[in-house]
Structure formats: structure tokens, C-alpha cells
Amino acid sequence: MSVVLQRIYDESEPLGGNRVLVDGVWPRGISKDQAQVDEWMKEISPSKELRQWFDHDPEKYEEFKEYYTEQIENSKERKEQLKQLKEMAQNERLVLLFGAKNEEHNHAVVLKELIEKNH
């Protein structure tokens, strides 16, 4: 299983594999061609209210992780998309694309942990 994170705004070469954008909104200033996204799973992103509350504050990260994990567990759609991501990661490298500036404290990091959990 191979799951990697890549900030969609990175200038580096796009990583190969199954490229999935996991943000709820399309990243500003990035064209569909530039992004080279295979799939956009916007429903798996945290709710707008949770995103706004968290605001990428490292001090709120542990609490954010708990709330976001609960959101996934309590949503049929989010759970289904998490299952799809786990299946994708079994067959080839899964690249989770996100737009957040903070690369250590964001929902894609939480998703990566959930995908790799129990494997």
C-alpha cells in the first residue's frame, strides 16, 4: 500500500499513480489540465463549519482530527469514499491532492492515516 500527499500548488513534477483531489472546493488558479486529477472526491472533505473552525491552527489539530474522523464515521457517503480510497491504495500508489498551505496539519494528513489504518 502506498499513499502519498501532494500539495496541488507544488511546482514539482506531478506524482504518478491514482491522483485524487480531496478538497471540497476546486483550488483557485489551477486548471483541470494543470492538476492532472484522476478523480475529485469533494464529499470526503470536512464540513465547511469544521474547516472554518479549524482554520489550519496547529493547536486545534488533534481536536480537528477527532471531529473529522467522526464526520467520516457518521456519513454514509464519506465512509464509502474512504473505502474507495483504501481500495485504490491497494492496487497502485494513491496520491491525495490538497490545497492547504500547512502540509502537516490538514484533512489530507488525517485521510492518509485513516487509509493506512488497519492494514
CA distance 10 to 61: 23
pLDDT above 60 for 78: yes
The pLDDT value recorded for residue 12 is: 74
Distance separating alpha carbons of residues 54 and 56, to the nearest angstrom: 5
Helix (H) or strand (E) holding 53: helix 48-54
Q: What is the CA radius of gyration of the chain?
A: 13
Q: Please tell me the predicted confidence (pLDDT) of residue 118.
A: 65
Which of 15-19, 24-28, 55-59, 90-94 is predicted least confidently? 15-19
* Nearest residue to 65 (alpha-carbon basis) of 26, 117, 19, 21: 117
CA gap 61, 8 in Å, rounded: 21
Residues 23-34 have pLDDT tens digits of 999 999 999 888
